[in-house]
Structure 1
Amino acid sequence: MSGTGRRLGVAAVVVGLLGLVLGLGGLAYARLELGGAVVSSESMTPTYGPGDRIFYERTGGGEVRRGDVVLFSAPERYGFDGLVVKRVIGVGGDRVACCTGAGAAARVTVNGKAIEEPYLKGGEAGGGAGVPDYDVRVPEGRLFLLGDNRANARDSRAFPDDRNGTFAESEIRGRVTDSYAVPAVIGTAIVLGALLTLTGVGLGIAARVVRKRGRAPIAPEWRLPG
């Protein structure tokens, strides 16, 4: 019995520790590397609309690339501390201009080359009639950001007198990911960790019971008088 108790005790420690490492590691990774937000405006439709929940990787502005959808905080411009979501069109050193062509044929150019933007609402790159054109040289360490709904987005075009509307890389909080694989894996790790921890506790209780039984005193043998 003592051998069984020891084996159960060892199993309890191993399984319990594995569960704690897996669960706490998943929680720590999720807290430090991932974030979630709910879209509140129409500036990124049809890609993301009001009420859509998005996940983002916490990353600095120096790691994002053209075409990435990012979340950033710019309270001095927007008047609140919440996160804003927009798409990166130009990075430091780029020249961004709008637009070549007209109407549905209009295209934003980056460094003189027209870019394809299949994500645009209505295919409208410029934002429609009455929206002024622009020609911006993006300073180093800054980003030119636009919404996918160009006719209804308060983006870099809204701040032409403040560094041509560009945003500092330091304002970026994360890059949106459309892959649910990482959140799913982390969620699975957390659940599995909890189950293993509970299993370890159960094995520990079983080991204690077995040991107690092994130490139970032996009842004296009773004999009938001859």
Structure 2
Amino acid sequence: MSGNIRTTSGHGRLGSALSGLAVAVGCVLFLGGFVWGALLYQPYSVPSDSMTPTLDVGSKILAQRVDGEEVRRGDVVVFTDPLWGDVPMVKRVAAVGGDTVACCDRDGHLTVNGEPVDEPYLRPGPGGRIIASGTEFSVSVPEGNLFLLGDDRHTSLDSRTHMQEAGQGTVPRSSVVARVDAVVWPVKGLLEPPKGFAGLPGGISEPGPVRPLLTAIGAGALLVLAGGAYGPVVGLFTKRRGAGTRAGEKEKART
């Protein structure tokens, strides 16, 4: 007795079962990835060129919803603050509460608590030289606040612009609504980790689950397509094989 048990439609029962399982698992991964992503992430459009070259104006970004208390130095965050216009803005965290942030040392670096910070993501200035700020400053960041800078230090309106206001240009951690993880359009992928801040107390943030989310969505789509294609592909193969068999039988009959 043959071990290849077939249904009345000619498809192997095992193949049909695996096809259905692939579609079911694919749907779970695909839809689950989207739901999970919608809960964790919020899409934004970059409103200005102050974060170039890291983020171009109009770029579509994915920002993970986080509590302001989770933010660390070097993070690129989305925040709203009444003194800054009360609209979503995107800047990089240069210092946190308790830090003394200053600029610049003899090499043009930003310093945090006296330690120079390497910032390779900054936009070069005239002559191609990278400096952390065209104007000098020194600020003691109040506890619970953040000092924020754009990556284009030559045009960005950031904490330096608000230094005459309460808090010397800093904003409360509670103003942060999300942390940017990736640029989806134009496609740049995950942001580079701000390694220059890694040696400071507290280190830097770990990237959010963008990569596993995209992997789940992509794998789900492939499984759905593969499972859905099983029936038509097997049917076409069976039809061709049957046509070939009938043609052979006719040829034998002629001879």
Letter in 2 for 1:184: L
Q: Is the 8 A contact 1:100 1:109 kept in 2?
A: yes
Aligned residue among 135, 139, 143 for 2:142: 139
User: Structure 2 CA distance, aligned partners of 1:58 and 1:20?
Assistant: 25
- Structure 1, unaligned runs of 5 or more: 203-226
- Structure 2, unaligned runs of 5 or more: 1-5, 183-188, 191-209, 232-255
2:53 alignment partner in structure 1:
46
**C-alpha distance 10-39 of structure 1, shift in aligned 2 (>3 A):** same
Letter in 2 for 1:135: S
SS of the aligned residue for 2:168 comes to helix
**Following superposition of structure 1 onto structure 2, how do residues 75-94 of structure 1 map, counting pairs within 5 Å?**
76-81=82-87, 83-94=88-99
Larger Rg: 1
Q: CA deviation at 1:176?
A: 2.8
2:112 alignment partner in structure 1:
110
Q: Is the 8 A contact 2:79 2:89 kept in 1?
A: yes
- Higher normalized contact order (CA 8 Å, seq sep 6+, divided by chain length): 1
1:171 equivalent in alignment to 2:175: yes
Q: Is the 8 A contact 2:77 2:180 kept in 1?
A: yes
**Following superposition of structure 1 onto structure 2, how do residues 20-99 of structure 1 map, counting pairs within 5 Å?**
20-74=27-81, 76-81=82-87, 83-99=88-104
User: Structure 1 CA distance, aligned partners of 2:156 and 2:54?
Assistant: 13
SS of the aligned residue for 1:152 comes to coil
Q: Is the 8 A contact 2:33 2:214 kept in 1?
A: no
User: Structure 1 CA distance, aligned partners of 2:78 and 2:228?
Assistant: 38
Q: Is the 8 A contact 1:68 1:176 kept in 2?
A: no
Instruction: Report % sequence identity.
Output: 40
Q: CA deviation at 1:56?
A: 2.7
More helix by proportion, 1 or 2?
1
Q: Is the 8 A contact 2:63 2:181 kept in 1?
A: yes
Relative to the length of structure 2, the TM-score reads: 0.62
Q: How many residues align?
A: 193
User: Structure 2 CA distance, aligned partners of 1:118 and 1:10?
Assistant: 53
Q: CA deviation at 1:108?
A: 1.8
